[in-house]
């Protein structure tokens, strides 16, 4: 089996099919922690993520880092046979095609598990592998809407907003990773693999806290609230001379300390603000009071004052802030990665951190088919002549 020599998942092999984010982010997480991830891409075109990024195509180096790129045409019988060979010694097969695609190619779990009963098949889709919507095309945005997140994102005065990230896809991939590791633990007991079915809308739904019982038990439907946490105050974005910062002083003892920092210790015992319930009822006027005070400070001075008084507060980070921040630097949260085309590419590190088997980034997303020889010759024992023929015939 594979041994990349680092990470908690070293010795495990994943075959990654599919494209874009919902599946490949799962592969990224596994590769970050040492699994050998062999990414299968369509000859000549590859994953569309190779072209994604603002101003430059720099998403691929992140989402395909530590992976091996192999080209293989799964739409032809010989390509399907080659995948079956790869599956024989794999621990995981990851795919995020529309449900039914793998079965159409004769590569459903019923068939693949006959070749390798220990195989764990990770399936990511918009609506899951079953149910009346299963065959629909499902993008992350639709899953975010169906799972309830879009309705809660943004300000009440605007239509439902996107959070600025492909969060539905990434959540589905994260749950797929969690499910894969659960299935791996179960395989350690039974010796058998199984299917992990991660739906985008369900991954989003899992994040919806108590929104459903709030409705079924209390008849309450949550709606957009913008930057506040309703009835929890003060907890908001507050203005300064040079920008905005977040302050969360909603606990009674913390609010008392903040009142002292404001030079208004009497506010700590004021009946309008002295209890959690009272501050919630007077949330708007309390936020106005704090805003009128905070605007007199620079963001740095206000953050320093909050820290001195034990009040949770923080700046709203953008990429330049992350690169300059001493805490990010101390924990290597963002790292520079060597790349043959991009000379100054930084990216988020592998998380979470481990005391004994940390994740690492050994190489960025590779060129299309960069590992064809490593995989086809090294793992499957194909000859140079075989590779030349398969390439000429469009199989790889």
Confidence of residue 2 (pLDDT cuts 50, 70, 90): low
CA 152 to chain CA centroid, Å, is 19
For the residues of 64-131, what is the DSSP string, one character each?
TTTEEEEE--TTSHHHHHHHHHHHTT-SEEEE-SPTTHHHHTT-SHHHHHHH-TT-EEEEEESS-SSS
Could you give the CA distance from residue 32 to residue 28 in angstroms, rounded to a whole number?
Answer: 6
Domain with CATH 3.40.50.10540 in the chain: 13-207+333-392
Alpha-carbon distance of 353 to 358, in angstroms, equals 6
Q: What is the mean pLDDT of the chain?
A: 97
Helix/strand/coil for 225: coil
Q: What is the pLDDT of residue 5?
A: 85
Residue 4 has a pLDDT of 75
Q: What is the mean pLDDT of residues 166-192?
A: 98
Q: Is residue 3 very low, low, confident or very high in pLDDT (cuts 50, 70, 90)?
A: low
Per-residue pLDDT tens over the stretch 336-384: 999 999 999 999 999 999 999 999 999 999 999 999 999 999 999 999 9
Domain 13-207+333-392 has CATH 3.40.50.10540: yes
Whether 133 contacts 125, CB under 8 Å: no
Could you tell me the two tokens for 314?
Answer: 């923080």
Backbone angles phi, psi at 343, to 5 degrees: -90, -10
Count the Cβ atoms, other than its own, within 10 Å of residue 395: 20
Give the integer Cα–Cα distance in Å for 245 and 295: 11
Q: What percent of the chain has pLDDT over 70?
A: 99
Nearest to 26, CA basis, from 100, 92, 98, 114: 92
Question: What pLDDT does 181 receive?
Answer: 98
- Residue among 214, 216, 204 at smallest CA distance from 146: 204
pLDDT band, residue 63 (cuts 50/70/90):
very high
Gap between the Cα atoms of 164 and 141, Å rounded? 11
H helices, E strands: number in the chain: 18, 11
| pLDDT attached to residue 42 | 97
Residue 1 has pLDDT above 70, yes or no: no
Q: Say which residues have a Cβ less than 8 Å from residue 61's Cβ, sequence separation at least 6.
A: 337, 339, 342, 345, 347, 364, 365
Is 54:62 a contact under the CB 8 Å cutoff?
no
Q: Which of 348, 378, 382 is nearest to 2 (CA)?
A: 378
pLDDT at 170: 98
Mean pLDDT computed over 262-284: 97
- Residue intervals in the chain for CATH 3.30.1540.10: 235-316
The residues facing 39 across adjacent strands are 16, 69
396 vs 393: CA distance, rounded Å: 8
As a whole number of angstroms, the distance between CA 200 and CA 206 comes to 10
> Residue 319: pLDDT above 60?
yes
For 46, residues 6+ apart whose C-beta sits below 8 A from its C-beta are 69, 71, 368
**What pLDDT score does 24 carry?**
98
**pTM for this prediction:** 0.95
Q: Give dist(CA 172, CA 201) in Å, integer.
A: 8
> In this predicted model, what pLDDT tens digit does every residue of 134-156 receive, in sequence order?
999 889 999 999 999 999 999 99
Number of CB atoms found within 10 A of residue 102's CB = 24
Residue 380, both tokens = 């499957």
Q: Which of 32, 169, 197, 287 is catalytic?
A: 169
Strand-strand pairing, 313-315 and 243-248? antiparallel
Query: Which pairing describes strands 120-125 and 195-199: parallel, antiparallel, or unpaired?
Result: parallel
Mean pLDDT of 192-207: 98
Residues 6+ apart with CB under 8 A from 154: 160, 161, 224, 226
51 neighbors 58 (Cβ within 8 angstroms): no
Answer CATH for 235-316 from 3.40.50.720, 3.10.20.740, 3.30.1540.10, 3.40.50.1370: 3.30.1540.10
Confidence at residue 384, expressed as pLDDT on a 0 to 100 scale: 97
- Respond yes or no: is residue 169 known to be catalytic: yes
The confidence score (pLDDT) of residue 389 equals 97
Tell me which residue of 68, 112, 116, 54 sits closest to 379, measured CA to CA.
68
């Amino acid at each position: 089996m594979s041994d990349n020599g680092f990470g908690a998942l070293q010795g495990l092999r994943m075959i990654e099919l599919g494209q874009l984010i919902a599946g490949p982010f799962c592969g990224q997480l596994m590769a970050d922690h040492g699994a050998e991830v062999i990414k299968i891409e369509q000859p000549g075109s590859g994953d569309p993520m190779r072209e994604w990024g603002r101003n430059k195509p720099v998403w691929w180096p992140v989402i395909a880092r530590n992976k091996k790129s192999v080209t293989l045409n799964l739409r032809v019988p010989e390509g399907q046979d080659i995948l079956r060979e790869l599956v024989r010694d794999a621990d995981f097969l990851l795919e995020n095609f529309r449900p039914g695609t793998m079965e159409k190619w004769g590569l459903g779990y019923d068939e693949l598990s006959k070749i390798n009963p220990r195989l764990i098949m990770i399936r990511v889709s918009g609506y899951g592998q079953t149910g009346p919507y299963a065959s629909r095309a499902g993008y992350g945005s639709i899953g975010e809407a169906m799972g309830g997140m879009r309705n809660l994102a943004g300000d009440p005065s605007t239509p439902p907003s996107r959070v600025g990230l492909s969060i539905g896809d990434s959540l589905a991939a994260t749950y797929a990773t969690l499910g894969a590791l659960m299935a791996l633990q179960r395989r350690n007991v039974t010796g058998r693999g199984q299917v992990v079915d991660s739906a985008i809308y369900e991954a989003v739904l899992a994040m919806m806290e108590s929104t459903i019982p709030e409705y079924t038990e209390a008849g309450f439907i949550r709606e957009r609230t913008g930057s506040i946490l309703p009835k929890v105050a003060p907890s908001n974005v507050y203005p300064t001379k040079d920008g905005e910062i977040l302050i969360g002083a909603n606990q009674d003892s913390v609010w008392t300390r903040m009142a002292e920092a404001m030079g208004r210790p009497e506010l700590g015992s004021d009946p309008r603000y002295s209890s959690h319930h009272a501050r919630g009822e007077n949330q708007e006027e309390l936020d106005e009071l704090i805003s009128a005070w905070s605007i007199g400070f620079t963001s740095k001075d206000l953050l320093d004052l909050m820290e001195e008084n034990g009040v949770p507060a923080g700046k709203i980070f953008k990429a330049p802030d992350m690169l300059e921040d001493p805490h990010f630097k101390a924990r290597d949260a963002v790292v520079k990665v060597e790349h043959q085309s991009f000379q100054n590419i930084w990216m988020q590190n592998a998380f979470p951190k481990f005391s004994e088997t940390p994740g690492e980034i050994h190489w960025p997303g590779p060129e299309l088919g960069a590992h064809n020889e490593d995989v086809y010759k090294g793992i499957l024992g194909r000859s140079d002549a075989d590779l030349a023929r398969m390439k000429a015939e469009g199989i790889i």
